[in-house]
Structure 1
Amino acid sequence: MADDIRRIGAEPLPYFRSKNYCEHVQALTEDLRYLFGTTSTPLTITASGTAGMEMALVNLFNPGDEVVFVNGGTFGAKWGSMARDLGLHTHEMPLEHGRDLDLQRLLDAVGPNVKGVLLSAHETSTGQRFDVRSACQALASKDCLTIVDGVSSIGCDPFEMDAWQVDCATACSQKGLACMPGLVFVTFSERAQRKLRQTTHFRSYLDARVYLDNIPRGMLPFTPAMHATFQVAHMLQSIRKVGLAARIQQTAERATYFRDLMLAEPGFQLFAQTPSNALSAITLPPGVMATPLAGIIRDKYQAVLPLNPTKAETFIRISHMGEQHEAELAQLAQWIIEESNALIVLPD
């Protein structure tokens, strides 16, 4: 996080039902419209990104409804397991990790009884960015809602909810916005809002109707993570000053800079066919495994390379979100290259 964002986390807080805080929520909501690219009303929920996914499922579908989920990694698989836990009937569309979405396969998987398609804009476990724009536009004429997990993509990659005809999308405070964790933002299209008023699925804390009914007057129905809302508001105002496209371009340039350094060395390759700006998934040279390398980087340099939730040992992931500088990325690349070369065991 940037220094000015961290300082906001130490500021005194007003009463969350006060006039000033309600005005803050209204201004935050307007800036979130800009982030999502929508005229709909983004909802601010104090919870994790997983709760945003659950909010979409329990508000838009009834138990027994059929949904298709695209499984291109850990978070695609999560869509399927959550949907099953909540009583939906799921159809899996598996993808090879790190590969592009096959649009025709997806359209073929959407039968006449399918009520929704569950997508990830960016599969965080593989670094792969999917063409959700084409998918959502192709499905817009069907009686089938498109739900997009944009948690690690929105704010890093281009995303235009209305123009792409997305029915529901989620984002978080701690990813592309680089603020403290604690908030998930969920936006429903007009079509989705009509549907959620008719759905009979049990819901309470994540009942989108309660949020939609209260937010026009700046009221969040439950106690919010207030410091996080102030951080996000500040960040969104900063993004507005430079423009969202320029902010995304900055992230893209950091990603390209780091990838060029890594790919210039023998044995390193990109894992994702179409990488997100949010992170680089780098395939390691033969003989180098991710877990030992991450342990060395952590213990020797105090830098964290999170282990892959897919358990894959052939590649590592490096974030490009938040406050990063080229000198830091160059240093990290040097450490990874040097320690990888040291781990390669040459034959006698």
Structure 2
Amino acid sequence: MDTLKRETLSQRVRQVRPSGIRKFFDIINTMPEVISLGVGEPDFVTPEHIRRAGIRSIEEGHTQYTSNYGMIELRQEIAKKLQALYGLEYDPAKQILVTVGVSEGVDLAMRTIIDPGDEVIAPDPGYVAYEADIIFAGGVAVPVPTYAQYDFAVRAEEIAAAITPRTKMILLGNPNNPTGAVIPRVELEKIAALAVEHDLIVLSDEVYSRLTYGVDHFSIASLPGMKERTILMDGFSKSYAMTGWRVGYVAASTEILEAMLKIHQYTIMCAGTAPQEAALQALRYGDDDVKRMHDEYERRGQMFVAGLNKLGLACCEPRGAFYAFPFIGNTGMNDEEFAEKLLFEEKVAVVPGSSFGEAGRNYVRCAYCTSYEKLEEALVRIERFLQKHAR
């Protein structure tokens, strides 16, 4: 058989690095007795009444397509929730789109807004898919470093310094994955002013909005002049322990949302019907479940972060999500070496910080969404590992 004489894969695909998270996840699956702090997967099972709603949907034969936008009842509940939380008013008929997780929403937004060569400013470290989605859309990712001294919250002055005539979007993960940072309102106000001044779109990924500790979550879309230029995203995976159901949503202006729908309807058609009905149940009756899981994450995080600091791995207190991001640069190992050795020697899985951007180098991400007891054992193993490799 003749081999192809031209490059088979597109330049955009070749430009994207494989996910550092998935690399470790694949290794973990082959190793027994691993304590996984690697993947941001809640250890809680989706609450029973939400599971029952999904099962009931199937049993009642609700197996057809929904509207491309998603079930109108679900969109109405989303609109009510955004009104109650942030005072934001969205038309559920034309300004809310149900997506296959927030991940689809980010991809849709990039392909809807970004032309080849457009620049997208995003905090570094940041979620691994952000840079990939920017590249797939033909854009240029412009990372803005964040720093431990500011609890890794992105600052407006760094964003301002990165703006050029090619800048079209600011992408914010708030709360942040992998650092757990929550952007203070004062910084959001400054970032909003920059967006208005330079006529920029803001994509605000708020999938961890219900998981903040000691601070209230505040959406940049609720600031003056920002609703029309903000693409707000949230979902059910983290707060309701519904990762496998794959339901998220986008709230945006009619013009932007109808453009996103063009891509969504030709690629996805609509989110699954049973998952949407489960999400509807979650929104209507799941607040107590969110509170229960939130409080347990907070308890775990306080213990685990205190333990890391006691071991000499300096770690900021995460204000949101369920990630600790300790500095390991004083161990004599880089983050990839540290993660690999810790996995094979002590069977504790963490993710190298450099997987999330250059500013994550010499840090590792530890997801504390596993049980309290496993986190305690992970600290014992990490201490043993550090003693073995003490310089």
Indicate if the aligned counterparts of 1:174 and 1:180 stay in contact, CA closer than 8 A: yes
1:227 matched residue in structure 2: 274
- TM-score (norm. length: structure 2): 0.63
Structure 2 counterpart of 1:133, from 188, 191, 214:
188
Deviation at 1:103, TM superposition (A): 1.2
Identity of aligned residues (%): 13
* CA 42–251 in structure 1, closer or farther in 2 if over 3 Å, else same: farther
**Matches of residues 57-96 of structure 1 in structure 2 within 5 Å?**
57-64=110-117, 66-75=118-127, 78-95=129-146
**1:315 maps onto 2:364 in alignment:** yes
SS in 1 for 2:56: coil
Distance in structure 1 (CA, Å) of the matches to 2:293 and 2:80: 16
Structure 1 counterpart of 2:219, from 154, 160, 166:
160
**1:148 maps onto 2:204 in alignment:** yes
Unaligned segments of structure 1, at least 5 residues: 211-220, 299-303
Deviation at 1:44, TM superposition (A): 0.5
Distance in structure 1 (CA, Å) of the matches to 2:202 and 2:72: 32
Distance in structure 2 (CA, Å) of the matches to 1:119 and 1:55: 16
Unaligned segments of structure 2, at least 5 residues: 1-44, 356-360
One-letter amino acid of the structure 2 residue matched with residue 226 of structure 1? T
* CA 68–252 in structure 1, closer or farther in 2 if over 3 Å, else same: same
1:45 matched residue in structure 2: 99
**1:172 maps onto 2:235 in alignment:** yes
1:340 matched residue in structure 2: 382
Deviation at 1:89, TM superposition (A): 4.9
- TM-score (norm. length: structure 1): 0.70
SS in 1 for 2:351: coil
Distance in structure 2 (CA, Å) of the matches to 1:33 and 1:159: 11
Distance in structure 2 (CA, Å) of the matches to 1:293 and 1:347: 13
SS in 2 for 1:269: coil
Distance in structure 1 (CA, Å) of the matches to 2:164 and 2:79: 37
Deviation at 1:317, TM superposition (A): 0.9
1:186 matched residue in structure 2: 250
| Number of equivalenced pairs | 311
Distance in structure 2 (CA, Å) of the matches to 1:106 and 1:18: 40
CA root-mean-square deviation: 4.1
One-letter amino acid of the structure 1 residue matched with residue 78 of structure 2? T
**Matches of residues 283-302 of structure 1 in structure 2 within 5 Å?**
283=327, 286=331, 289-294=338-343
Indicate if the aligned counterparts of 1:290 and 1:313 stay in contact, CA closer than 8 A: no
One-letter amino acid of the structure 1 residue matched with residue 202 of structure 2? T
Indicate if the aligned counterparts of 2:234 and 2:249 stay in contact, CA closer than 8 A: yes
* CA 96–59 in structure 1, closer or farther in 2 if over 3 Å, else same: same
